[in-house]
């Protein structure tokens, strides 16, 4: 049985992890994965909405350590990604080794290298939150590939849309739109089509009410997979509507899936169109509870642990950011040459 420590009471910690943990603890039989003890959360300035019944909120990790046995605790790292390595290092120094880390694992390769070194030095058992990996929709897409009915997979297209003005204008935890939704889709693309290289990337700013947040509007990247398929991922954080759509183009069919867009309605849809038939499935797909329960079971069983897909997603996103910066620099140079008539 494990105690729970939630570090960070923002959207991920208070809005996702705590409610899901509360449901899991209520459903799980006594004496199984979750200890019958209050959840401990750490946030120096928690909002009143985050104070769920039965949660002990403390201002520092040192105070939390006095309440918890690290060996019997799973620490949920839900802090903004830019400072994630420092939080992981502090947890490791306090003895916490069972870490459940929100995506993205890191914002760049330098931070990823630091986290990987911390894992080796402190023998951390680290799981990156990636509920799309265990989603019922993702598993159905894998089945479409495995049975061979539709032929080879040729292309994956992912479109993610949601309005994120309030959070982007109020916080600075996510440096670009690549760090918000793209890691989920990128992990699925790598799972379905295998290793890939970046071929193109672009981003845009978010603007509202006369305020501009650079690079937090849209993010697009394109990949070429070693096995042959291509992938395009587009994330729009300025859209007026919500959508999480994945399209898989096979040789003999088009398969379109819609992931749930929020915790308010945990159903996915899958549409298949081929020369022989069309079909539509609607099915439950509340993936985050399943992922968290499986993660706790993995900690109880002693593994396996690995961050391969999450690390590869970080590397590709980091490359996409550098690609965009280089494109901007070239455009500035070209504009300068034009203005000087050179």
Given pLDDT bands bounded at 50, 70 and 90, which one contains residue 263?
A: confident
What are the CA-CA distances from residue 38 to residues 6, 30, 35 (Å)? Answer: 11, 14, 8
At 336 the pLDDT is: 81
Domains along the chain with CATH numbers? 3-128 (3.40.50.720), 134-286+320-324 (3.30.360.10)
Which residues lie closer than 8 Å to 67 by C-beta, 6 or more apart?
A: 40, 56, 58
127 pLDDT above the threshold of 70: yes
Both tokens of 180, joined, read 């918000």
At 334 the pLDDT is: 85
Question: How do residues 277-296 score in pLDDT, each as one tens digit?
Answer: 999 999 999 999 999 999 99
Both tokens of 53, joined, read 């019944």
Given pLDDT bands bounded at 50, 70 and 90, which one contains residue 265?
A: confident
Share of the chain above pLDDT 70, in %: 95
Given pLDDT bands bounded at 50, 70 and 90, which one contains residue 191?
A: very high
Q: Give the alpha-carbon dihedral of 329, 332, 336, 342, to 10 degrees.
A: 60
At 48 the pLDDT is: 58
At 303 the pLDDT is: 87
Given pLDDT bands bounded at 50, 70 and 90, which one contains residue 211?
A: very high
- Average model confidence (pLDDT) for the chain? 93
Which residues lie closer than 8 Å to 221 by C-beta, 6 or more apart?
A: 178, 182, 186, 198, 200, 201, 202, 232, 233, 316, 317, 320
- What strands, in cross-sheet order, belong to the sheet with 211-225? 196-208, 211-225, 230-236, 153-163, 238-250, 253-258, 267-274, 278-284
Q: Which region among 8-12, 46-50, 106-110, 158-162 has the lowest average model confidence (pLDDT)?
A: 46-50
208 pLDDT above the threshold of 80: yes
As a whole number of Å, the CA-based R_g of the chain is: 21
Question: How do residues 69-85 score in pLDDT, each as one tens digit?
Answer: 999 999 999 999 989 99
At 93 the pLDDT is: 98
Distance CA 50, CA 63 (A): 18
The 3-state DSSP class for residue 286 equals coil
Distance CA 333, CA 212 (A): 23
339 pLDDT above the threshold of 60: no
Beta carbons of 258 and 268 less than 8 angstroms apart: yes
Given pLDDT bands bounded at 50, 70 and 90, which one contains residue 65?
A: very high
Q: Around 77, how many Cα atoms within 13 Å sit in the side-chain half-sphere?
A: 30
Given pLDDT bands bounded at 50, 70 and 90, which one contains residue 32?
A: confident
């Amino acid at each position: 049985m494990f105690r729970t420590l939630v570090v960070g009471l923002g959207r991920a910690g208070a809005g996702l992890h705590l409610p899901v943990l509360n449901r899991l603890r209520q459903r799980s039989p006594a004496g199984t994965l979750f200890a019958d003890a209050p959840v401990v959360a750490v946030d120096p300035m928690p909002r009143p909405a985050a104070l769920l019944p039965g949660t002990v909120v403390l201002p520092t990790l040192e105070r939390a350590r006095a309440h918890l046995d690290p060996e019997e605790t799973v620490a949920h790292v839900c802090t903004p990604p830019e400072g994630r390595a420092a939080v992981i290092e502090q947890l490791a120094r306090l003895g916490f080794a069972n870490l459940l880390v929100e995506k993205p694992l890191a914002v760049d390769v330098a931070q990823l290298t630091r986290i990987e070194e911390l894992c080796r030095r402190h023998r951390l058992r680290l799981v990156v939150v990636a509920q799309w990996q265990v989603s019922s929709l993702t598993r159905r897409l894998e089945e479409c590939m495995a049975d061979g009915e539709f032929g080879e997979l040729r292309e994956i297209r992912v479109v993610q849309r949601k309005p994120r003005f309030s959070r982007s204008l109020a916080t600075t935890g996510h440096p670009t739109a690549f760090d918000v939704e793209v890691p989920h889709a990128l992990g699925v693309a790598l799972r379905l089509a295998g290793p890939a290289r970046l071929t193109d990337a672009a981003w845009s700013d978010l603007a509202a009410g006369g305020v501009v947040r650079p690079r937090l509007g849209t993010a697009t990247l394109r990949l070429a997979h070693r096995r042959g398929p291509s992938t395009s991922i587009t994330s729009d954080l300025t859209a007026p509507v919500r959508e999480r759509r994945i399209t898989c183009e096979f040789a003999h069919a088009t398969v379109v899936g819609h992931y749930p867009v929020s915790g308010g309605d945990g159903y996915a849809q899958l549409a298949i169109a081929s020369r022989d038939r069309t079909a539509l499935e609607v099915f439950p797909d509340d993936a985050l509870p399943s992922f968290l329960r499986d993660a706790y079971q993995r900690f109880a069983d002693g593994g396996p642990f690995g961050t391969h897909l999450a690390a590869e997603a970080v590397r590709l996103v980091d490359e996409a950011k550098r690609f965009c910066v280089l494109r901007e620099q070239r455009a500035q140079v070209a504009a300068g040459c034009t203005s000087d008539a050179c």
